[in-house]
Amino acid sequence: MTMTKTRAPMRMSIFSLIPLLLIAGPASAPAAGAEADFRAAYAAAEAAEQEAGHLRNQWTVTASALADAKKAADKGDFDQALASAKEAEALAKASIFQATSEKEAWKALEIR
């Protein structure tokens, strides 16, 4: 009990930092900076998703996150677009990891 009580405020402070940083970004440099960040993140996510495609192991959720990012960017909400693009990249990377490790790991499931 005491553990969770002491930890909770810490966790809160970490999470509250993120929006602060996000707000700080556009405030110091105008929207162009946020857009550039999004474009870079989106390109990275797309590249990762393409690699997953070469490995024949794309995830449906990655495609949705990419679509969400694009939708938010079209509306000019680059913070949301950046968050979705980063999520898409993380998902694509996870699918790449899965495909790579399963090149050998599938054997563990085989009935012998």
Partner 1 sequence: MVLVLTPLRLALAALGALALSVPPAGAADTPDPAADAKAFRNYFVRKFPNVKLEEFVNGPYALNQDMHRQWEEKEQFPPYEFSLEMGKEMFAMPFGNGKGYADCFPNQGIGIRQNYPYFDNKEGKVVTLELALNRCREANGEPALSYVEDEMAALTAYMAFTSRGKPFDIRIPDDPRALEAYQNGKRYFYARRGQLNFSCATCHVQNPGERMRAEVLAPALGILNAMPIYRSEWGGMGTISRRFTTCNSQIRGVPLDPQDEEYRDLEYYLSYVSNGLPISGPGARP
- Shortest separation between residue 70's beta carbon and partner 1, angstroms: 17
- 55: which 2 tokens? 């490995």
- The residue whose two tokens read 């929006």 is 19
Under 8 Å CB-to-CB from 39, ≥6 apart: which residues? none
Binding site for partner 1 (CB under 8 A): 56-61, 63, 91, 94-95, 98-99, 102, 105-107, 109-112
- Shortest separation between residue 91's beta carbon and partner 1, angstroms: 7
- Shortest separation between residue 71's beta carbon and partner 1, angstroms: 19
Distance CA 44, CA 84 (A): 12
